[in-house]
Amino acid sequence: MEASLAAEPETYRRELTGYCYRMLGSAFDAEDAVQETMVRAWRKGEQFEGRASLRSWLYRIATNVCLDMLRGRSRRAAPVELGPAMPPVESSLTGMLPEGSWVSPIADERVLPAEADPAELVELRESVRLAFVAALQHLPPRQRAVLILCEVLRWQASEVAALLDTSVAAVNSALQRARAGLAAAPTGQRPALDDDDSALLTRYVDAFERYDIDEFVTLLHEDAIQSMPPFAMWLRGAADIRAWMLGVGSGCRGSRLTTLAVNGSPAVAQYRADPAGGHTPWGIHVLDVVDRRISEIHTFLDMAGAPGELFAQFGLPARLPA
């Protein structure tokens, strides 16, 4: 591959990351998939004849990489799909989800184009919501690819057919089945972030840092959900969330929070107070907001990999000073 052509694929890294993330449901897997795509593109550069666009060729490679990675794997899911709600007591923490079983979060800046117009950005943010990505995982991999390419990225059926080496009729049939499958999956509702959501996020941070749990629960719907992967436990209802935070979860008192944009949603990174001084990474909270109140809190704890690995993915420091 010529030097100029070798460098050009990097300009597509962000959109390829978004595509692979929707396919795989994991930020770490998406990064690996895009890296493998770049490696294969470099190795096979002489096969690129220019009859299709470089972008189409890269998506073809990325699709094959994702299909290879998904072969024989169990689907990732939202924690609420993996077991029943549990009471807010310490014994509920005994179960752990298998590694790689849940949909993991990703920073907006890694998957959403900075140059998109506002209307396009709203649609793209919706397409990386945790609930939507979890719903995509219910689809067979090739149907998933067809739906993402046609419905999210707005490719023509003829372009998708060429990418998948199939017919337009087969693409349209797969798309119809994928739409039906997606409609049957728990996609949830998620309006776009607006000023009201921003104000709500500010109140969330303030109440949590002051550990004013009575104020905190006023921000929640009565039937709000909180999940905490890698724990299998999840809670249903503002009352149970309150009981948890005043009981087993009271070790979060004294935390410091910093705001983020994650999966098209308002989010915060929580640093828990360290008895030795300062604050250490604890979890990423991704909030689903419906009608100006929080319907779900997805708290991804920094426990599944190496310490600080989850926070490093978001470019966050490994420690905050006292």
pLDDT given at position 191: 47
> CATH code at 286?
3.10.450.50
221 with 294, same domain: the answer is: yes
pLDDT at 310: 93
Band of residue 117 on the pLDDT scale cut at 50, 70, 90? confident
User: Does residue 195 surpass a pLDDT of 60?
Assistant: no
pTM for this model (two decimals): 0.92
Give the dihedral sign, CA 195/201/202/204. positive
Q: Cβ–Cβ contacts within 10 Å for residue 28, how many? A: 17
Q: What phi and psi, each to the nearest 5 degrees, are found at residue 231?
A: -75, 140
**7-21, 99-113, 136-150, 211-225 — which is least confidently predicted?**
7-21
Mean pLDDT value across residues 183-187: 78
Residue 319: inside a domain? no
Phi, psi for 268 (deg, rounded to 5)? -140, 155
Q: Does residue 236 sit in the same domain as residue 265?
A: yes
- Asked if the bond preceding 230 is cis, omega within 30° of 0, the reply is yes
88-109: b or e for each residue (b if 16 or more CB lie within 10 Å)?
Answer: beeebeeeebeeebbbbbbbbe
Taking 80 as the threshold, does the pLDDT of residue 59 lie above it? yes
Domain that holds residue 235: 195-313
What are the pLDDT digits (tens) for 122-175?
889 999 999 999 999 999 999 999 999 999 999 999 999 999 999 999 999 999
Structurally, the chain folds into a number of domains equal to 2
- Please state, rounded to an integer, the average pLDDT across all residues of the chain: 90
Query: What is the pLDDT confidence band of residue 79, given thresholds at 50, 70 and 90?
Result: confident
Which pLDDT score, from 0 to 100, does residue 3 have?
44
Last residue of a domain, one of 184, 214, 239: 184
Res 118 pLDDT > 70: yes
Say how many CA atoms lie within 13 Å of 304 toward its Cβ: 24
> pLDDT, tens digit, for every residue of 22-40?
999 999 999 999 999 999 9
CATH of the domain at 124: 1.20.140.160
Residue 75 burial (10 A CB sphere; 0-12, 13-18, 19+): middle
What pLDDT was estimated at residue 322? 81
Domain assignment present for residue 212? The answer is yes
pLDDT at 61 over 60: yes
